[in-house]
Amino acid sequence: DPKTGAIDIKKSSVFDEINKMEQEKSGGIGTLTEGQKSVDKAFAKEYGKFVIEGGFADTQKGLSQLDEAVDILSSGENVTGSFISRLPFQDTVNPSGVKAKEYVEEVVQRNLRLILGAAFTEKEGDKLISRAFNPKLSEKENIARIQRLSKSMKKALKQKQDAAQYFEKNGTLKGFEGTVKITTDQIIDDAGLRTKNVKYKVEK
């Protein structure tokens, strides 16, 4: 009102039509805020490594290595425990134990980086490895830890895959109701590898 200065805002008669066109143009997602665009931009990089560059297939291969580590520990051969772990020249006297440990190390350092993204650090990997595989503990205890880690990683992989499929279909993560950001602590907690939860029964 030019006299009183009062403002009366009304919806344009074409508002609904314009909004409908925007929804159709973005697959029903609607317009994005700057924050949502930033999230999509960051996830697009992870999507490229995870899907286009074969990260998903690589991670599945890594999980099969955890199964191989469990097979080694289940073979009945003495590969872990206080006595065998103290022997010198482990590569010579205990090649199976070394191989099982290397499988776990490789999966944690390589494949968790693919699942968690660039935020995953080598230091976090070392912390997780020490909890998932301890040469001084019995084969039984190490098997239980590796299996819990494998289960936790499979769950995290499924969450990442769901997010990637949603992003591929919609071109954005807006509206995605699953978990996008997965952390090392979540993996540790889900696998029951938090220090207060793990048993430290040393095999003599």
DSSP per position, 96-124: HHHHHHHHHHHIIIIIHHHHH-TT--HHH
The first and second tokens of residue 144, run together, are 């239980």
pLDDT for the residue numbered 202: 40
pLDDT for the residue numbered 120: 80
The first and second tokens of residue 95, run together, are 């090649």
Per-residue pLDDT tens digits of the chain, which is 204 residues long: 778 878 877 767 676 666 566 555 555 566 788 888 998 998 888 888 888 788 888 888 888 999 999 999 999 889 999 899 899 999 999 999 999 999 999 988 888 888 887 778 888 888 888 889 999 999 999 999 999 999 998 998 899 889 999 998 888 898 888 877 778 888 888 888 876 545 444 444
pLDDT for the residue numbered 116: 81
Q: Name the nearest CA neighbour of 58 among 67, 49, 46.
A: 49
3-state class percentages of the chain: helix first, strand second, coil last, to nearest 5: 65, 0, 35
Q: Name the nearest CA neighbour of 146 among 62, 86, 49, 77.
A: 62
Report how far residue 112's alpha carbon sits from residue 106's, in angstroms, rounded to the nearest whole number: 9
pTM: 0.74
pLDDT for the residue numbered 102: 93
Nearest-Å Rg of the Cα atoms of the chain is 25
pLDDT for the residue numbered 191: 84
User: What residue has token string 């998903």?
Assistant: 56
In whole angstroms, how far apart are CA 24 and each of 17, 31, 34?
A: 11, 11, 20
Q: What angle do CA 152, 158, 162 make, to 5 degrees?
A: 150
- Give 137's strand partners: 202
- Helix, strand, or coil here: 26? coil
